[in-house]
Structure 1
Amino acid sequence: MLQFAKIFLSRKLLALSCIGLLGFAGSVLAQMNIEITGVGQSLYPIAVMRFKDENKLPTSVTEIIRQDLARSGYFKNTENGNASESDEGAPNYKSWAARGADALVVGSVVSSGGTQFEIHYKLFDIRKSESLGGLNLNATADNLRTVAHKIADDIILKLLGERGVFSTRLSYVIKEGKRYRLVISDADGQNIRNAMNSSEPIISPSWSPDGKKVAYVSFEDRKPVIYVHELATGRRIALSNQKGNNSAPAWSPDGKKLAISLSRDGNTQIYGINADGTGLHRLTRGSTIDTEPQFSPDGRYIYFTSDRGGNPQIYRMSADGEQVEGAKRITYKQGFVTSPRIAPDGKYLAYVANIGGAFRLYILNLATGDSQALTDSSSDESPSFAANGRYVLYSTKVGGKRVLAAVSVDGNSKQVLSIPGSDVRQPSWGPFMD
């Protein structure tokens, strides 16, 4: 069984953590289809009215805001038509309460000439009969989606007291035939932009904490090499091109270094390396397979997958290496566990467990040790937490094709993001952008 576990783990995790130069090449035509397959148990009724004079815009800001709020799993849109409401003065709170709205969003568009616009929005708490303020945002025809996402995030913050993630970004790989594309998109999967095209696999994208860089593994040289790509300029460096496999890059919280997996000395082990490619040093020294490192949010620990106990499980060690603090096993409930991901607040661990041959997404409360399945599917891979820790993005199979899916940490709200005719895989959810 041990030998089987080693063989399976090495093949499985290389596929998960290792599989034309960079620079954004503009938007591509294929866009995500989004299917909401579940909603939260208690939805907050909100009326998002059509922004006044929105017909001046090439894109509907109102619809993007409504879609964002619906996908959050916390809101129910009570107004879906084209009626607008003045954003001057106070609304008739009693009238809106009678219509079943607990909150009201109104807005207007002012043309500043050419493709320049001013977007004004206000939010009202109907329950408390008070204004919650709003935003005045400058926009161009090219960044209306960004403006709409910022408004949706502001609504989340004002009503729920937490940061929304609509303004964050995703990275993932699209496989079309024998071609692979690393792409960047909005958090809703729309506004897709190419970062790289290759005839060889691209896998394991990982965002830097400031959202300015993505590390990933490319097979363009017919072997797995880790690159770091600067999104704004398109520049990249080969972070690690050691002999054997270079895989599973993960950033430290301060962005100054990464943990990676290398087989340069025989069996796959975990190493640390500076973000400029210097200072390579070994962190584990076992005789088994150690891979898939992930830093804890405070930077003190590294969680990783190892088969040192027989079958693969999740372990934790000091970020300075297991010689400083020995590795501690974290997962016990399932017999075969891979792909650790830590929530931004450090309270939860997402992972993939093999249950009777089905690979299923789980979440573990690190304080209590309680775990629960977040899905009932059988081909889950590559989990990634949203920046606010409320959702987990992952890859799975629907109808024989790989798609992206997102699920809330309570398992109630689910959605599937797919591109017709394409396999979508290897997702990574980006950080908050200040």
Structure 2
Amino acid sequence: MRRFFHFLMFLFISTAALVSTVHAQLRVDISGTGAQQYPIAVADFTGDPSGRLIAEVIRADLTRSGQFRLINATGTELNADSTIAFDEWRTRGADYVAYGSVSKTADDRFEVRYRLADTTSQTNLDGAAYTGSDRELRRIAHQIADRIYEQITGVPGVFSTRIAYVFKQGNTYELQIADADGQNPQIALRSRDPIISPSWSPDGSKLAYVSFESGKPVVYVHDLAAGRRVPVANFKGNNSAPAWSPDGQTLAVVLTRDGLSQIYLINANDGSNLRRLTRSPLIDTEPVFAPDGQSIFFTSDRSGNPQIYQIPVTGGEARRVTFNGDYNISPRISPDGKNLLVVTKRGNAFRIASIDLATGAETLLTLGPDDQSPSFAPNGKQVIYASKQGGRNMLAGVSSDGRMRQTLSVLNGEIREPTWGPFGVSQSDPPTQTP
């Protein structure tokens, strides 16, 4: 229990290890590959110099997924109206060819036309046209990569989604939102006091988080587009660990208003309609809703050491979920509700594990020694988490089967508490708030 209490103090207070700079982009180092790799060539988009950037972003996205093997297409000139030499590309090893063109419109915007060809069936699989400003070209490239990914794998891509994380620079804390590849970071909140536990609303329009600006932890809900926020849990004692219900109407929060940390439910808009969910003589914390909204997974030390439990949202008896090892915390459920991520302690290492809820089978996804705060991608195929390596805190990623790993680091910076946004999150720049 002492170790678990120390973990809670770390969660609430020791966010002082967060460092980054808003203008620095994340460097991505990749190791391993997916179980299956699709050979694809991505030609430079023709018609404008920006076409090369678009192709580079698409290639980087597909490579980061671990499920594609890039065939060299350097120097190949293909536009959206080109006739594909299917046999030639098959000889070069490409099962698929992505290509397109970029042109300027009368209002000084860009039109991007994309095509995807299957060299095995010798057919055109997909095509689309996009328009946008020069600042929107990366977003368009991510959207094209999403289409390619889904056309070939049958699973929606997540390259155009966004992530949120917290960092500290000097004595200033910032809540940042970035593209899924770590590029284009924007500041949503800047504060002289710690910010922890960011959590996306289901529609991606809001973030709930905990701020210490009033001298104690208080839960806020932040409207990203409007730049407005409201305190929704500011009760006596500590207010922490917000988690959204799937319909976006309810927040689960952890309060100490009645003694030890317990889980409560409140209305997400204004914090009204407070009702207590758990009633245990020990610590209950880190709630997360199941995808169907009917139950909540949470961490508790009611069995003598921290384990994961599940309780109906209507209350009642909690059911223990984890049994491997004597330390399992930070539950995160997959979008399909079939797998649960936890931080587990094995020996002296903290690692991310995935548990099959139907069978109880466990897969250790990371190596440690200090991995925390896992978060599923909205398609369930990738996981981001915070990792301490070589004495530095950084953002890391792993495929949901553990085969491929990524390290995303910032020069002169350290990142913690990443959370992956849902499908459809706007990539417009959020206004910066300062308490």
Task: Pick the TM interval, shorter chain.
Answer: over 0.9
Residue of structure 2 equivalent to 1:23: none
Q: Would the aligned equivalents of 1:18 and 1:245 in 2 still touch at CA under 8 Å?
A: no
Once the 2 structures are TM-superposed, how far is the Cα of residue 56 of structure 1 from its aligned partner?
A: 4.9
CA distance in 1, matches of 2:393, 2:312: 35
TM-score of the superposed pair, with normalisation by structure 2 = 0.93
Q: Would the aligned equivalents of 1:115 and 1:141 in 2 still touch at CA under 8 Å?
A: no
Aligned partner of residue 143 in structure 2, secondary structure: helix
1:100 and 2:100 aligned: no
CA distance in 1, matches of 2:172, 2:296: 34
Correspondent of 1:345 among 336, 359, 379? 336
Q: Amino acid of the residue matched to residue 196 of structure 2?
A: I
Residue of structure 2 equivalent to 1:11: 6
Q: Amino acid of the residue matched to residue 41 of structure 2?
A: A
Aligned partner of residue 54 in structure 1, secondary structure: coil
CA distance in 2, matches of 1:355, 1:334: 7
Residue of structure 2 equivalent to 1:367: 358
- Please show how residues 314-393 of structure 1 align to structure 2 within 5 Å: 314-321=308-315, 323=316, 326-393=317-384
Once the 2 structures are TM-superposed, how far is the Cα of residue 14 of structure 1 from its aligned partner?
A: 4.3
Q: Quick one: structure 1 residues 56 and 36, their matched pair in 2 at CA, closer, same or farther if it must change by over 3 Å? A: closer
Q: Amino acid of the residue matched to residue 368 of structure 1?
A: T
User: Which stretch of structure 1 is more off in the superposition, 75-84 or 136-145?
Assistant: 75-84
Q: Would the aligned equivalents of 1:404 and 1:425 in 2 still touch at CA under 8 Å?
A: yes
Once the 2 structures are TM-superposed, how far is the Cα of residue 17 of structure 1 from its aligned partner?
A: 5.8
Q: Would the aligned equivalents of 1:208 and 1:251 in 2 still touch at CA under 8 Å?
A: yes
Q: Would the aligned equivalents of 1:39 and 1:73 in 2 still touch at CA under 8 Å?
A: yes
CA distance in 2, matches of 1:9, 1:105: 50
Q: Quick one: structure 1 residues 28 and 114, their matched pair in 2 at CA, closer, same or farther if it must change by over 3 Å? A: farther
Aligned partner of residue 69 in structure 1, secondary structure: helix
CA distance in 2, matches of 1:158, 1:14: 46
CA distance in 2, matches of 1:18, 1:371: 31
TM-score of the superposed pair, with normalisation by structure 1 = 0.93
Once the 2 structures are TM-superposed, how far is the Cα of residue 176 of structure 1 from its aligned partner?
A: 2.3
CA distance in 2, matches of 1:126, 1:145: 27
Q: Amino acid of the residue matched to residue 284 of structure 2?
A: D
CA distance in 2, matches of 1:211, 1:431: 6
Aligned residues: 418
CA distance in 2, matches of 1:30, 1:82: 30
Q: Amino acid of the residue matched to residue 213 of structure 2?
A: E
Deviations 1:110-150 (A, max 9, x none): 10146401000000111111111211001111111110000
Give the share of equivalent positions with the same residue, in percent.
48
CA distance in 1, matches of 2:178, 2:26: 10
Q: Would the aligned equivalents of 1:18 and 1:204 in 2 still touch at CA under 8 Å?
A: no
1:88 and 2:81 aligned: yes
Q: Amino acid of the residue matched to residue 281 of structure 1?
A: R
CA distance in 1, matches of 2:214, 2:74: 53
Residue of structure 1 equivalent to 2:224: 231
Residue of structure 1 equivalent to 2:163: 170
Q: Quick one: structure 1 residues 138 and 17, their matched pair in 2 at CA, closer, same or farther if it must change by over 3 Å? A: farther
Q: Amino acid of the residue matched to residue 425 of structure 1?
A: R
- Please show how residues 222-301 of structure 1 align to structure 2 within 5 Å: 222-276=215-269, 277-301=271-295
Q: Would the aligned equivalents of 1:17 and 1:248 in 2 still touch at CA under 8 Å?
A: no
Q: Quick one: structure 1 residues 17 and 129, their matched pair in 2 at CA, closer, same or farther if it must change by over 3 Å? A: farther
Deviations 1:208-251 (A, max 9, x none): 00000000011111211100000101100001011111111000
Residue of structure 1 equivalent to 2:136: 143
Correspondent of 2:53 among 43, 57, 60? 60
Q: Amino acid of the residue matched to residue 185 of structure 2?
A: I
Q: Would the aligned equivalents of 1:102 and 1:126 in 2 still touch at CA under 8 Å?
A: yes
Q: Amino acid of the residue matched to residue 244 of structure 2?
A: W
Q: Quick one: structure 1 residues 115 and 203, their matched pair in 2 at CA, closer, same or farther if it must change by over 3 Å? A: farther
User: Which stretch of structure 1 is more off in the superposition, 263-272 or 77-86?
Assistant: 77-86
Unmatched 5+ stretches in structure 2: 15-20, 426-435
Unmatched 5+ stretches in structure 1: 20-26
User: Which stretch of structure 1 is more off in the superposition, 9-18 or 231-240?
Assistant: 9-18
1:183 and 2:176 aligned: yes
User: Which stretch of structure 1 is more off in the superposition, 158-167 or 28-37?
Assistant: 28-37
Q: Would the aligned equivalents of 2:97 and 2:119 in 1 still touch at CA under 8 Å?
A: yes
Q: Amino acid of the residue matched to residue 297 of structure 1?
A: P
User: Which stretch of structure 1 is more off in the superposition, 375-384 or 174-183?
Assistant: 174-183
Aligned partner of residue 121 in structure 2, secondary structure: coil
CA distance in 1, matches of 2:91, 2:11: 52
CA distance in 1, matches of 2:77, 2:234: 58
Aligned partner of residue 346 in structure 1, secondary structure: coil
Q: Amino acid of the residue matched to residue 131 of structure 1?
A: N
Deviations 1:175-200 (A, max 9, x none): 22332211000001110001111222
Q: Amino acid of the residue matched to residue 341 of structure 1?
A: R
Residue of structure 2 equivalent to 1:413: 404
Q: Would the aligned equivalents of 2:370 and 2:389 in 1 still touch at CA under 8 Å?
A: no
CA distance in 1, matches of 2:169, 2:236: 29
Once the 2 structures are TM-superposed, how far is the Cα of residue 83 of structure 1 from its aligned partner?
A: 2.5
Aligned partner of residue 331 in structure 2, secondary structure: strand
User: Which stretch of structure 1 is more off in the superposition, 229-238 or 216-225?
Assistant: 216-225
Once the 2 structures are TM-superposed, how far is the Cα of residue 295 of structure 1 from its aligned partner?
A: 0.3
Q: Would the aligned equivalents of 2:369 and 2:389 in 1 still touch at CA under 8 Å?
A: no
Q: Amino acid of the residue matched to residue 328 of structure 1?
A: R
Residue of structure 1 equivalent to 2:391: 400
RMSD: 1.5
CA distance in 2, matches of 1:16, 1:389: 25
Q: Would the aligned equivalents of 2:339 and 2:355 in 1 still touch at CA under 8 Å?
A: yes
